[in-house]
Amino acid sequence: MHLKIIKCDGSVEEYLHTKVIGTFNNALALAGKPSVYAAEQFAEAVTYHLYREKTAHAITSDEVHLMIESVLSSTGYYEAAKLLSEHRLTRKLKRKRVEVYDDRQCEKKGCYYAPCQWDKSCITEDLVKKNGLSRQMARVIASSVEEKILMLEMLRVSRRLIKQLVIADMDSMLQAYKQLQIIAG
């Protein structure tokens, strides 16, 4: 059985055990108690539960997040659970506040395309459709670009800037991927 994750934006992707390890590790690091070993053990418990106890073939990312918080709280890492929850809420708020505008003029002089709310899934879809990238690689690039956009703490971001960030990150990641393939033989 392959478990699917239903993301907040409605997209569906494969469940990745490594993402759960990363989330645990990040939460523990936020609380000043980083432990890759603990993160791996906690993630193993969540993955086991999902594959052995769940009857559905899909679960929402919110449900996985709540499981992670529950594991952290029940194992004495209350601060890590609290900080993870705050971090997730802060990211959601930042995403809602970012407005994307098109800096190209439409046919009528002085008329600009209407701004829209930030949505990293648009980057993912474009990379898959226009560049033929795998969905997983496209999501990694989109997440990297989103991280940069959110760190800028700008409320309005131009499509041109986003496009430049996407191109730069895509080039870097594809270069790294090619180097890994050469090393792996």
- Could you report the per-residue pLDDT of 4-50, keeping only the tens digit for each? 999 887 888 888 899 999 999 999 999 999 999 999 999 999 999 99
pTM higher than 0.95: no
Confidence of residue 54 (pLDDT cuts 50, 70, 90): low
- Could you report the per-residue pLDDT of 70-126, keeping only the tens digit for each? 999 999 999 999 999 999 999 999 999 999 988 765 555 555 567 888 999 899 999
Cα(4)–Cα(54) distance, integer angstroms:
12
Take residue 90 and report the two structure tokens written for it. 């802060």
Q: Domain coordinates of the chain in residue numbers? A: 4-95, 98-184
Cα(157)–Cα(138) distance, integer angstroms:
20
Angle between helices 78-97 and 61-74 (to 10 degrees): 150
